[in-house]
Amino acid sequence: VSRLLATLRRADLPDGKPTFVIHPPRHIVVVRLGDEVFALENLCRHADAHLLLGAVRGCTIECRAHGYLFDLRTGALLHPADESLTQQVYEVRRDGPDTWTVWTDTPPEGVESEE
Ligand code: FES
């Protein structure tokens, strides 16, 4: 069962600027590019730096700590090519011209899934 994590409006999401959404323990960074919105966990899977501080270029975000480059759509690591780790991404639904919602399938910390 999907769970609503956040409702975001265009005014909360400056184009191309990473925005923070509280979702412990790893939190979420949201990026809007035009009419598309992407959400992935904030703490970099490499060594837990904040992707919130990363540089957005095209549909990628570069972690400032060691330059790891992630695909905003899939969370896949694009650079360095010889490592494999994936940043968790969250489902984003567009609810109106200026509204998006962020969802997760993962139950809250400490709560057993009922399925
Ligand atoms: S912590 Fe992100 S690249 Fe190292």
Residue of 66, 77, 83 with the most ligand 1 atoms within 8 Å of its CB, for mutation: 66
Reported confidence tier of residue 107, pLDDT bands at 50, 70, 90: confident
- As a whole number of angstroms, the distance between CA 42 and CA 24 comes to 10
pLDDT at 112 over 80: no
- Among protein residues, the one with the nearest Cα to ligand 1's atom 1 is 47
Query: Bridge-partner residues for 96, per DSSP?
Result: 99
pLDDT digits (tens, 9 = 90+) for 6-48: 999 999 999 999 999 999 999 999 999 999 999 999 999 999 9
Evaluate if residue 114 carries a pLDDT over 60.
no
Tell me the C-alpha distance between 61 and 92, whole Å: 17
Ligand 1 atom closest to Cα of residue 51: 2
Pick from 52, 68, 83 the residue to mutate for probing ligand 1's pocket: most ligand atoms within 8 Å of its CB: 68
Per-residue pLDDT tens for 53-100? Answer: 999 999 999 999 999 999 999 999 999 999 999 999 999 999 999 999
Pocket lining: 55 vs ligand 1, CB cutoff 6 Å: no
